[in-house]
Amino acid sequence: MISIYVHPTCTSCRKAVALLEGLDADVARRDYFRDRFMAKELRGVLVQADRAPAEMLSTRARAYKDLGIADLTVSDDEFIDLMVTEPTLLRRPMATAGRQSTVGFNADALTALAVADAHGRRRSRSPRLTRNTFDRR
């Protein structure tokens, strides 16, 4: 399953969801502006995605400029607290499947994520054949 974290008014988010749904991907969508992250939960998502909090910071967000974040020395925990308090600071969309992830609208990366996820789901549903299956002496 692909988890995608979006804001419904974001054009890139809508395009990403449409692309994944067009590929018949198994998608769980979350509007993280309406259903806000808790710090521990966001930290877990970033660990799963193998991303550092600084990588997920939206430097184009108005809050980034208003808070003067570019001029600050900020720890990972402080970045997470800022993103929880002000979700516009979190880059979007973010899509994860297992330890694979992509951030922003990147059609090739989203397609690769969908293909890898579908392949993984097919493999997990395939019966496991063992030597004993055929060795009936």
Report the C-alpha dihedral over residues 8, 66, 46, 14, rounded to 10 degrees: 20
Predicted local confidence at residue 130, as pLDDT: 41
How far is 51 from 46, CA to CA, in rounded Å? 5
- The model's pTM is 0.81
pLDDT at 124 over 80: no
Length of the chain (residues): 137
For the chain, which domains are there?
A: 2-122 (3.40.30.10)
- Give the phi and the psi of residue 61 in degrees, each rounded to 5: -65, 140
Burial of 95 (0-12, 13-18, 19+ CB in 10 A): buried
How far is 15 from 10, CA to CA, in rounded Å? 9
Structure tokens belonging to residue 119: 């392949």
CA 35 from centre of chain:
15
Please answer whether residues 60 and 104 qualify as being in contact, where contact means their C-beta atoms are separated by less than 8 angstroms: no
* Per-residue pLDDT tens digits for 15-56: 999 999 999 999 999 999 999 999 999 999 899 888 899 999
pLDDT above 70 coverage of the chain, percent? 88
